[in-house]
Structure 1
Amino acid sequence: QDRMIVNKLSYNIGEPKRFDIIVFHAPEHKDYIKRVIGLPGDHIEYRNDTLYVNGKAYKEPYLNKYKEEVEDGPLTDDFT
């Protein structure tokens, strides 16, 4: 029963920035809540459960709890 307040006006005056949380409507008539990681022209890589943006590693301490719950393998598979 969690609730979320969404500001629909802020992107009328500016663009989303890295790590902003955004909400958008999907074709299935559902709302998706996602975190912006990459911006146009960025190179995104996830390797050994570490996020790299343009070659720079980013700490994601909010994922530590979930990483501990995963018994076999990484929380997020490697991708480029």
Structure 2
Amino acid sequence: MHIALDAERVGPAYTEDGMLLARRETREALAAIAARIRPGMLEEDDVAMAKQVLLDMGLAPHARALWAQHAQTDAARIRAGRGLA
């Protein structure tokens, strides 16, 4: 028997259509951001650009999570001895 943890539960506003929309919008945002990244961009420049893309797409509340993920990825690369890309 599987007992759902609080973190695994969904709220009353959850719908399958809403989840599918979020997945589609996330993929579209990632593609739009990836298309604008250029070699040599500074972290603050690419984060600002990504936040603007999210704003333009109406996804601004999620912009903070982007920076957090970027910082975690950089830290992992440095710990692994690969430096920053």
With structure 2 as the length reference, what TM-score do the two structures score? 0.31
Answer 1 or 2: which has greater strand percent.
Answer: 1
Of structures 1 and 2, the one with the larger relative CO (CA 8 A, separation 6+) is 1
With structure 1 as the length reference, what TM-score do the two structures score? 0.32
Answer 1 or 2: which has greater helix percent.
Answer: 2
Larger Rg: 2
